[in-house]
Structure 1
Amino acid sequence: MKDGQPSAIYLKDYQVPAFLIDKTELVFDLDESVTVVTSHLHMRRNPESKHKTAPLILDGGEDVKLIAIAMDHYQLPSEEYCLTDNQIIITATADEFILTCETLIEPQNNTRLEGLYRSSSMFCTQCEAEGFRHITYYLDRPDVMSVFTTTIIANADDYPVLLSNGNEVSRSVNEEGKTVAVWHDPFPKPAYLFALVAGDLNVIEDQFVTQSGRTVELKIFTEAHNIDKVDYSMDALKRSMKWDEDKYGREYDLDIFMIVAVDDFNMGAMENKGLNVFNSSCLLASPKTTTDDGYQRVEAVVAHEYFHNWSGNRVTCRDWFQLSLKEGFTVFRDQQFSSDMNSPVVKRVEDVSFLKTAQFAEDAGPMAHPVRPASFIEISNFYTLTIYEKGSEIVRMIHTILGEEMFRKGSDLYFDRHDGQAVTCDNFVQAMQDASGINLSQFKRWYSQAGTPRVEVSGEYDDVEKTYQLTVSQMTPPTSNQPTKLPLLIPVRMGLLDNEGNVLNADLDGVNAQEHVLHLDKAEQVFKFKNVASAPIPSLLRGFSAPVKLSHNYTVEQLLLLMSSDNDGFNRWSAAQELAVRELTALIEQVKLGETLTVESQLLVGFKRVLSDETLDKSMVSLILTLPSQAYLSELATEIDPHAIKAARTHLKRLIGCALEQKFADCYSQNNAKVDYLPTADQIAQRKLKAVALSYWNESDSVTARRAVIDQFNAADNMTDQFSALSIAVNVGHSDFQVMLDDFYSQWSHEALVVNKWLMLIAGQEADNGLDQVRGLMEHEAFDLKNPNKVRAVLGGLGSSVSTFHDTSGSGYEFLADQIILLNKRNPQLASRLCTPLTRWKKMTPSLSVLMQKQLERILSEELSKDVFEVVSKSLA
């Protein structure tokens, strides 16, 4: 950072705004070269503010040019206000007034993708968190809520579709022949929820009748060539609306709900009131171009953004420190929805697998922060897995502690009590406490303490007394700026199994049941179960009832029993993962010592049982058969040696594939049935298991297995089967994989989202010339540095390639640093997120650690955006 360091903003310094904006009237005159924005802000001093004579300070961006400013029609001369790069300060104001600003912006040159910008041939907006200040001067903070009226003026031929928040109230043609569309949103909202879209778009339309009998118009807009890919999104939207009424009693409130697909977007989607703007990768779906994972992502994101209408829009955040108030709660809601639409156990395993791999790593890294951060330099850096995924787990724990009925009462009270308000995480917890009568004061520590708690459990059985005693302790390791941690309230769901895998009844505190929820609220506690018929095997943390690292000294035999017999599906998967981790850990140490790799795999025994169990859900089988990822093993490691981890995983997977070759061949054959594609849970499960079986089968030297890959690739009538075959061919080094890659691109070069998958697959190859291939991709006709999806595809693929990214010369780290420096000025949000792989440098093996550190220091020497500076400086601290 060449100049002065940016300063941090602290939660403890929060003050209510000195002014409020009751009405916001916006006029956009859209043009190819420059857009004129006129705002009329109906303002008044905030009666709750203690600063009765405070100046008016409006936020603006360095890319916003002020043309004129007036107060109650009085044009302010320059000496009556102070204009800086990012603020207007007006000292003298009345208690009530109308402030009019006229500004110029150039959306076509906006590479930050914040505020108003061009994507392809359309104008669109992204205003969360602080993008609105790149449109015009405003009180750009979430606790300033205003009723918006938006007028859009544009050339009718180029921009026949003109959209904004709320309901369209008029449309006319002015004297210049331009279309003038006026939209009004009757619900007060902060500026971050503002949206505008203008373009030549196609639309599909439908209707939804609410539980009170109102008809809501539903519209999804895309560019013409993508309009055939949004039927599934419309179906997901209608199911989301029905589910939210049934599950939470939340009815949609406007006359119209719209979604627009945008190709250039920094995030996944945005919940702007009544006008959601989506990254096209989260909205478009068709069998030929979208994998099963893609369909499930579309379903989840559509639901997530719709559910924000209440958990985020009608009730929003007081300040950005409370971001998880809306995001954590809404992630929990979309996870519930996806569980109800598909397999609850499979959904839970997938969510927890992601949490344990990525969020736990974040908790242990330099950017570790509480779910409600105490400070930040750039808010965009705190759209993190901690805010979203751990935030969701905190809401889930409240649900576990209160139970379904009381949780619903709590959510009803929260929405009713705070409708139309900007509130805090404490308000949410208080509503849950008031509705249930359960004291959650200690539980609130989850919001303020960073890090992943470690829970250790030991058990002792008394054969004479028929009692089983569990000793449970908790400890949260120190994190940056938080050396001391207090005990948390941790709900631990558990059951007891006998040696045959049957569930035992047991008494705990006078309650006889097969399952109990332990409330761990001290550093160490003892729980004594009575009337336990035989020495039990504890099934702990069922359904992953708390985001903790659990430690219990299971024997291999006990893990095999849990894996094959536990009636909690999540713990069957967890036991398989634990077995695999133990074997992989031994192999990793052998690699480091230069020893011959050898392991007597008990995992084989468990896999045989699972493959033979026809009662198991096929998705569950595929999850159990999947080895812990490179990323997860890295998170578990005290010192990360990526090459050793890769060698261990490769060895164990090949060992299993060869030993169970016929089992996997049979499994593949049994699941290779030809059916018309549907994204249903049963079909998805079958395709997933087929892919896992084919992958393991190809670890053997079977010519038949290699032929099956080619046949599946050529005969596939859906993207799931075709891309899984291509991925297997690339990953095992199939002799024809390059021909297959070329054929794939030739077939799909006109489909941007499919090409992104191709880019990521090539960039992630384990190849001797990997970095040359990545450089070639960035020069390829299919690549565009302005498109975040393409950048993430190539550089995300690079980060997953051990041989390329972690090359012992440091060339992979240097190349990534080059791209971060390049993107720092073009798109700071994207650049800061690309820093994540380098931030793990302190955990790397020393020879790699020093190379990563060197590149971070090189980045820091540049003139950096706040986004990149915060991540890099904290990483080096």
Structure 2
Amino acid sequence: MSESRAKAMRLADYQQPDFLIPELSLEFELDDHQTQVIATSKIVRQGDHDRPLVLHGEKLELTEVQINGQAVQPQGSDTDLTFASVPDEFTLRIVTRIDPANNTSLEGLYKSGQAFCTQCEAEGFRKITYFLDRPDVMARYQVKITADKARYPYLLSNGNKVDAGELPDGRHWVRWDDPFFKPSYLFALVAGDFDLLEDEFITQSGRKVALQIFVDKGNLHRAGHAMRSLKKAMAWDEQKYGLEYDLDIYMIVAVDFFNMGAMENKGLNLFNSKFVLADAAAATDEDYFNIESVIAHEYFHNWTGNRVTCRDWFQLSLKEGLTVFRDQQFSADMADPAIVRIKQVKVMREHQFAEDAGPMSHPIRPAEVMEMNNFYSVTVYDKGAEVIRMLHTLLGEQGFRRGMDLYISRHDGQAVTCDDFVQAMQDANNVNLELFKRWYSQSGTPVLSVKEQYDQQSGQFTVALHQHTPPTADQPHKQALHLPIALEVLGTHGSKSQVLSLTKESQTFPLGQFETKPQLAVLAGFSAPVKLDFKQDEQGLLNTVLYAQDPFLRWDASQQLISEALHRAAEQGQTVLSDNLQGLFEGVLEFAPEQRALAAEMLELPSFETLAQQRQRIDVDALLNARNALKRLLADRFHPQWQALSASSSQSYIYEADQVQKRRLRAVCLGYLAHRQDQSTLLQSAYTTSDNMTDTLAVLKACQQADHPLFSGLMQDFESRWQADSLVMDKWFALHGSHQHKDSLAKLQLLTSHAMYSINNPNKVRALIGSFAFYNTAGFHALDGGGYRFVTDYLLKLDAVNPQVASRLITPMLGFAHLDDRRQDLLTQQLARLLDNKSLSRDLFEKVSKALKLSS
């Protein structure tokens, strides 16, 4: 078993498929436990060879196989079906049965509540029928679905609806035809009874596209924001990239049980309900933002992922990194671009840098994988987007658009590679990007060292840049990368911005002549995904906060100043409010009423996760105590300002920029005020008078993070109000899971038996157990090892139910090199427990085995 689990697939071993399947007809007779699937394929040998046809399949009951109408007996195993000798071109008919109701992995065809739905990316289609389940095998699909009409009035699949009918026994059928070639991972099927929101979109060429969003009964009033977001995304993609939608209908279905956020299946997107449903009472500003972003992301995949898709799964960032960048561009155009960028950088620093430093380190195009589901990672998605952003910076807006136009026109209808994308960018702009390609094959986070020099006599100001990427678990040796380094020079006559192109290990750049030594601010807009080694004193950082033009530089300088103070306090065991730190908060609070969004981000202390990435070794308790102590000091020192800025607004809730900024700043202020015991009346009033989930949750989070006595009572009231709403209760579970309290573990164990909780629902597991593992620093890292044991015990249960979710949940247990020796030993013991489980999934086996190998 271990040998099978440890077998890796390698990019270097890629070979084109021996056979192609240009046409596939699927017929589904839906039943909870005995769904019959008839797959009729046209199969063509590719190339001159006599190798057998090997089809992928998992957990299938095979009932019939025919080649050109004649019954055959192929060889079968748990994972494939082998035909030793077949004609060069033939028709293959395979009949299988599957059990959707008991498919807790949520891959292939499964039941979500009372509806049937599918999830086939990356390799879920093989749980539906035997097939060449790989992205470079592309077919035209015809799909017929038959089911009970009363229970499943809507029968949906990819493409356009071409026919329908009713049967005498109360069943009905619908036929769908997708005119575009697609790989099996983009297949989708949904059957259920929903509320339906309908609209239409007129494309730039005048075509009318029907828009449909299907939601659970009673949730129709929560689908409006998703529909508006979809129409914005469709218009934006036409305007920004000239890309028009290509089918007659575009459908979105919201389901409660889903492993991911959403899935871009051609013309029929399946979404986790949390990224579709929203109203002021139940959804926060963050929910509204995320819905708009994810709706756009899946729509943008129609061209960057569907019409042009991946040749193999090692090329996943080809579609995901590019599409994340596109949805980031969209979000920046829809909201405050500076705040959107800060959010993206937080993800990189808190999660992607940690992945680079841990046992699962990999390039955005991995060289090998054991389990493909493990590489739907922040590296492939978010670092992949940063790589695309660097290309955009180097080529400029027009140059990048030329490259995109060539990429789409050259590869429409094809399954291609990351190299094909970079080649299109290179050819369209007549530039050499060979050095830049290293980003696709090299893992790790580069460290950028900056040294400035000012010549008093000549006034010449220069900067020396040096790059170094430390060894990672997968790659001991690194090469220099192509880094665009954006910076600002702050002089007596204003600021000067420019982008330096660092292509060697070390380079020196002249920045101009100045009467006096100017102030240098490096990495404007986070122009490259690097860690910055730039020794600046507190006054220099404060000057950047107050005078730089780039909002990211101002925010970043504020966070550096606060971070250094926290690390110093953790090392010295005493937290003090230095003059410069006090000056920082005074300055930001002064401009906060005019620049609320940026001020809110600057006034927020760096997260523990960000702080942990800034040192080789950390003392968990000392750093946590220092952070809490500084928050209490700031709560007292600026008490009047927090109160003034948190004053309630009488406006009714609207999701628009000005109100979002006010609510965000108010939430930060409440977070400080909750650290004062004399603010109970204010907090209680803020909770009672709130007319929206954003403000309500702001009070709850403030009380939770300060461990305020009000928290327990408010949470009881919140539960009584929302106990019937699954999505809102996820927020309640998450608050309990991340509550750093002495009895948090006992509470957690109790909540796993709550009526609304289910180990089968990924949203519930992520909300409760995931929040504990990722964000309950004190509980998870408790010195008695109880937090580690609890998560390990839960993983052993969860892995048997849903390996994908279990594999994502283990992430906080992997990157432990920066912890003290005792905690490292405790974590190693729990990982060894997992590895001793002989039935451990490939998903977990890969991560655990790599983590233990790195620790040995």
TM category, shorter: over 0.9
User: How far 1:601 sits from its partner (Å)?
Assistant: 5.2
Instruction: Determine if the alignment matches structure 1 residue 75 to structure 2 residue 68.
Output: no
Please give the secondary structure, in 2, of the residue aligned with 1:841: coil
| Whole-angstrom CA distance in 1 between matches of 2:476 and 2:403 | 34
Q: Is the 8 A contact 1:167 1:256 kept in 2?
A: yes
| Whole-angstrom CA distance in 2 between matches of 1:582 and 1:734 | 27
* Counterpart pick for 1:195 among 162, 184, 188: 188
AA aligned to 1:545 is: S
Within 5 Å, which residues of 2 pair with 1:284-303? 284-303=277-296
Deviations 1:324-352 (A, max 9, x none): 00000000000000000000111001110
Deviations 1:606-654 (A, max 9, x none): 1111111157531111000011101111122212332222101001111
* Counterpart pick for 2:815 among 826, 831, 840: 840
Q: What's the counterpart of residue 643 of structure 1?
A: 621
Q: What's the counterpart of residue 606 of structure 1?
A: 584
AA aligned to 2:15 is: Q
Q: Is the 8 A contact 2:597 2:664 kept in 1?
A: yes
Q: What's the counterpart of residue 856 of structure 1?
A: 831
* Counterpart pick for 1:496 among 474, 481, 489: 489
| Whole-angstrom CA distance in 1 between matches of 2:335 and 2:610 | 25
* Counterpart pick for 1:60 among 43, 57, 61: 57
Within 5 Å, which residues of 2 pair with 1:35-54? 35-47=35-47, 52-54=49-51
Within 5 Å, which residues of 2 pair with 1:307-318? 307-318=300-311
AA aligned to 1:840 is: G
| Whole-angstrom CA distance in 2 between matches of 1:539 and 1:733 | 38
Q: Is the 8 A contact 1:564 1:572 kept in 2?
A: yes
Instruction: Determine if the alignment matches structure 1 residue 808 to structure 2 residue 790.
Output: no
Distance 1:823 1:532, change over 3 A: same
Within 5 Å, which residues of 2 pair with 1:170-319? 170-319=163-312
Within 5 Å, which residues of 2 pair with 1:428-507? 428-498=421-491, 503-504=494-495
Q: What's the counterpart of residue 511 of structure 1?
A: none
User: How far 1:802 sits from its partner (Å)?
Assistant: 2.6
User: How far 1:2 sits from its partner (Å)?
Assistant: 5.9
Q: What's the counterpart of residue 16 of structure 2?
A: 16
Deviations 1:743-791 (A, max 9, x none): 0000011111110110111121121111110000001111111000001
AA aligned to 2:144 is: T
Deviations 1:662-716 (A, max 9, x none): 11111112xx211121111211111000111121123234x2x321111111111
Instruction: Determine if the alignment matches structure 1 residue 515 to structure 2 residue 488.
Output: no
Q: Is the 8 A contact 2:671 2:705 kept in 1?
A: no
Distance 1:616 1:15, change over 3 A: farther
Q: What's the counterpart of residue 542 of structure 2?
A: 560
Q: What's the counterpart of residue 770 of structure 2?
A: 796
| Whole-angstrom CA distance in 1 between matches of 2:502 and 2:66 | 60
Q: What's the counterpart of residue 104 of structure 1?
A: 97
* Counterpart pick for 2:377 among 373, 384, 393: 384
User: How far 1:803 sits from its partner (Å)?
Assistant: 2.8
AA aligned to 2:578 is: E
User: How far 1:4 sits from its partner (Å)?
Assistant: 5.0
Q: What's the counterpart of residue 656 of structure 1?
A: 634
Distance 1:434 1:253, change over 3 A: same
Within 5 Å, which residues of 2 pair with 1:125-164? 125-164=118-157
User: How far 1:480 sits from its partner (Å)?
Assistant: 2.0
Deviations 1:242-273 (A, max 9, x none): 00000010000000000000000000000000
TM-score (norm 1): 0.96
AA aligned to 1:73 is: G
AA aligned to 2:817 is: K
TM-score (norm 2): 0.98
Q: Is the 8 A contact 1:491 1:519 kept in 2?
A: yes
User: How far 1:19 sits from its partner (Å)?
Assistant: 0.4
User: How far 1:283 sits from its partner (Å)?
Assistant: 0.9
CA RMSD of aligned residues (A): 1.2
Q: What's the counterpart of residue 528 of structure 2?
A: 546
Please give the secondary structure, in 2, of the residue aligned with 1:842: coil
Please give the secondary structure, in 2, of the residue aligned with 1:721: helix
Please give the secondary structure, in 2, of the residue aligned with 1:585: helix
Please give the secondary structure, in 2, of the residue aligned with 1:286: coil
Please give the secondary structure, in 2, of the residue aligned with 1:124: strand
* Counterpart pick for 1:686 among 659, 662, 668: 662
User: How far 1:588 sits from its partner (Å)?
Assistant: 1.2
Percent identity over the alignment is 44
Q: What's the counterpart of residue 842 of structure 2?
A: 866
Deviations 1:569-592 (A, max 9, x none): 00000000100111001011123x
Q: Is the 8 A contact 1:2 1:861 kept in 2?
A: no
| Whole-angstrom CA distance in 2 between matches of 1:65 and 1:640 | 53
Instruction: Determine if the alignment matches structure 1 residue 695 to structure 2 residue 647.
Output: no
Q: Is the 8 A contact 2:5 2:841 kept in 1?
A: no
Deviations 1:417-448 (A, max 9, x none): 00000000000001111111121110000000
Deviations 1:172-219 (A, max 9, x none): 013434211000000000000000000011100000000000000000
Q: Is the 8 A contact 2:460 2:510 kept in 1?
A: yes
Within 5 Å, which residues of 2 pair with 1:704-719? 705-719=679-693
Deviations 1:397-421 (A, max 9, x none): 0000000001001001000100000
Q: Is the 8 A contact 2:195 2:220 kept in 1?
A: yes
| Whole-angstrom CA distance in 2 between matches of 1:325 and 1:585 | 39
Q: What's the counterpart of residue 86 of structure 2?
A: 93
Moved more, 382-391 or 755-764: 755-764
Q: Is the 8 A contact 2:106 2:802 kept in 1?
A: yes
* Counterpart pick for 2:802 among 819, 823, 827: 827
AA aligned to 2:30 is: L
User: How far 1:532 sits from its partner (Å)?
Assistant: 2.9
Q: Is the 8 A contact 1:269 1:276 kept in 2?
A: yes
Q: Is the 8 A contact 1:369 1:451 kept in 2?
A: yes
| Whole-angstrom CA distance in 2 between matches of 1:28 and 1:172 | 14
Please give the secondary structure, in 1, of the residue aligned with 2:399: helix
Deviations 1:130-178 (A, max 9, x none): 0000000000000001000000000111100000000000010134342
Q: What's the counterpart of residue 509 of structure 1?
A: none
Q: Is the 8 A contact 1:770 1:803 kept in 2?
A: no
AA aligned to 2:494 is: V
Within 5 Å, which residues of 2 pair with 1:741-780? 741-780=715-754
Distance 1:217 1:53, change over 3 A: same
AA aligned to 2:49 is: K
Q: What's the counterpart of residue 507 of structure 1?
A: none
Q: Which runs of 5+ in 1 are unaligned?
A: 505-513
Instruction: Determine if the alignment matches structure 1 residue 668 to structure 2 residue 650.
Output: no
Q: Is the 8 A contact 2:675 2:708 kept in 1?
A: no
Q: What's the counterpart of residue 413 of structure 1?
A: 406
User: How far 1:600 sits from its partner (Å)?
Assistant: 2.2
User: How far 1:455 sits from its partner (Å)?
Assistant: 0.5
Please give the secondary structure, in 1, of the residue aligned with 2:218: helix
| Whole-angstrom CA distance in 2 between matches of 1:228 and 1:772 | 38
| Whole-angstrom CA distance in 1 between matches of 2:610 and 2:599 | 20
Q: Is the 8 A contact 2:116 2:191 kept in 1?
A: yes
Q: Which runs of 5+ in 2 are unaligned?
A: none
Deviations 1:82-134 (A, max 9, x none): 10001001011111101000000000000000000000000000000000000
Q: Is the 8 A contact 2:5 2:370 kept in 1?
A: no
* Counterpart pick for 1:586 among 560, 568, 578: 568
Please give the secondary structure, in 2, of the residue aligned with 1:530: strand
